[in-house]
Amino acid sequence: MPRIVKVAAAQIGAVHRDSSRDSTISRMIDLLNTAVSKGAQLIVFPECAFTTFFPRYLFSDPAEMESYFEDDAGGNSIADSKNVKPLFDKAREAGVDIWVGYGERTSSGQHFNTAVYFCGKTGEVISKYRKVHVPGFVNPPFPGAEVHLEKRYFETGDLGFEAFRAPGLIPNALKANTGEEDTDGKGDAIIGSLICNDRRWPESWRPYGLQGAELVLVGFNTNGKADDIYKPRQPISLEDAREQALFHHRLSMQYNSYANSCFSISAGRCGMDDGKFDLIGGSSIVDSDGHIIAEAKTVDDEVVFAEIDLEECRKGKKDIFNFAVNRQPQTYGIITAQKGYVEPKLLF
C-alpha cells in the first residue's frame, strides 16, 4: 500500500551580515506559502536559517556573535521566541510540519548548532537535534582564510542521533523492527535529522538507518571548495569551486540514502553573502535508491518539491540492506573503539 508524503526543501538565497531577521523570516514565510500551495505537508529549511552564516566571521564584538543565536530554554521555546515566532505561527496556521536550523543558546549559556522538528498539527516542537560533526576551526589557519570557525562558536551536539516519528504526517505507519503495520496508533513516518557536515559521515546516517529511518532531513551552508584550506585560495573559478562542492554534497546525500534505504531532503542557504562569500545551492530530494528526484535550479530562494512514497524504502530494508540478516557488527569494533588513525599491523 503506497504511503505518500508531499515534501519540500525551502532553499534560501543570500542573507548578508546586515540582513535583519525580520526580512529573512518574511522570505521564509513566502517559501512556506509557496510550498503549501504545492501541497507540501513537511517543509525543510536550512541550517542556521534565520541569519547569515556567521561562523565565517571572527568577531571583535562578542555582542555581535551572540546576536546570531536564539535563546532556547528547552521544550517548545524556539517556537515561542519572539524573534522567530511568526514562522512557527504560520506553520501552525497551515497545519504543516517544518524542520529548521538555528544557533541555539541554552539557558545555561551553551551554544549549539541546532535544528528542531515542529509539528504544525500539535503546535509543538517534537524533536531537537544538535550538530555532532562540528567542522572548521577555532582560529583561522591564516589571516583572511575563507573557513568556517564553527569549532569556535558551537559545542559538539550532545543529543546523539535519536530518530523520531512525526504524528499525523502519514497514515499506515510501519514498525521499524518488523516492517509490520503499526496498529497502536502511535507510529508514523520515522525521521532523523542531520546538519551540514554530518551528512558527509556515514556514522551519522547509520544510527538513523538502524532505527528504521524512512526520511533524513538535512540543513546546510556549504561554500565552494577551496583547493587546500591551509593555503590562500588557488586560482579556481567560482563555477569550478561550486561544482566540486556540489559533487561531494550529492555523493553524500545519494550514497547514504541508498545505504540506509531512506529518502532524504536537504535544504541549503546559498548565494553570495555580503557580495563575496559564495555558498552552493543544490537543495534536493533523494529517493531510497539514491536517485535525485528533485533539485534546486537556482542559488536563490526556491522551493524544491516532490511527492514521495515511503513504501519504497522497504525494498532495500528487506533485501540487500536487511541489517538483521546482513550486518556483521562483530567486525566493526574499531569504528567505535577508535577515534583517529591507528597504524596497521605490520605483516612482514
Rounded to whole angstroms, the Cα distance separating 208 from 197 reads 16
Find all residues with CB under 8 Å of 260, minimum gap 6, and list them.
205, 206, 208, 209, 213, 216, 321
Q: How far is the CB of 105 from a second copy (least distance, A)?
A: 21
Q: How far is the CB of 347 from a second copy (least distance, A)?
A: 5
Q: How far is the CB of 167 from a second copy (least distance, A)?
A: 6
Nearer to a second copy, 66 or 243 (CB): 243
- For 4, 46, 117, the CA distances from 305, given in Å and listed in that order, are 13, 15, 18
Number of residues assigned to the chain = 348
The H or E element containing residue 346 is none
Q: How far is the CB of 104 from a second copy (least distance, A)?
A: 18
Window 279-318: contact mask with a second copy (x via CB under 8 A): ----------xxx-----------------------x-xx
Task: Name the grid cell of 150.
Answer: 564553527
Rounded to whole angstroms, the Cα distance separating 168 from 335 reads 36
Rounded to whole angstroms, the Cα distance separating 123 from 231 reads 48
Near a second copy by CB under 8 A: residue from 176, 236, 292, 293: 176
Near a second copy by CB under 8 A: residue from 29, 58, 126, 293: 126
Nearer to a second copy, 61 or 180 (CB): 180
Near a second copy by CB under 8 A: residue from 37, 107, 139, 177: 177
Q: 48, 119, 196, 270: which is the annotated catalytic residue?
A: 196
Are 172 and 181 spatial neighbours (Cβ–Cβ below 8 Å)?
Answer: yes
Q: Is 239 in the site for a second copy (CB under 8 A)?
A: no
Task: Name the grid cell of 151.
Answer: 569549532
Q: Is 249 in the site for a second copy (CB under 8 A)?
A: no
Task: Name the grid cell of 75.
Answer: 521544550
Q: How far is the CB of 89 from a second copy (least distance, A)?
A: 21
Nearer to a second copy, 162 or 300 (CB): 162
Question: Would residue 196 show up in a list of annotated catalytic residues for this protein?
Answer: yes
Q: Is 325 in the site for a second copy (CB under 8 A)?
A: yes
Near a second copy by CB under 8 A: residue from 211, 221, 223, 288: 211
The three-class DSSP label of residue 106 is: coil
Nearer to a second copy, 210 or 293 (CB): 210
Task: Name the grid cell of 240.
Answer: 569550478
> What are the helix (H) ranges across the chain?
21-38, 62-67, 77-80, 85-94, 150-153, 202-210, 238-259, 313-318, 323-326, 333-337
Question: Would residue 131 show up in a list of annotated catalytic residues for this protein?
Answer: yes
Q: 6, 47, 225, 302: which is the annotated catalytic residue?
A: 47
Q: Which residues are catalytic?
A: 47, 131, 196
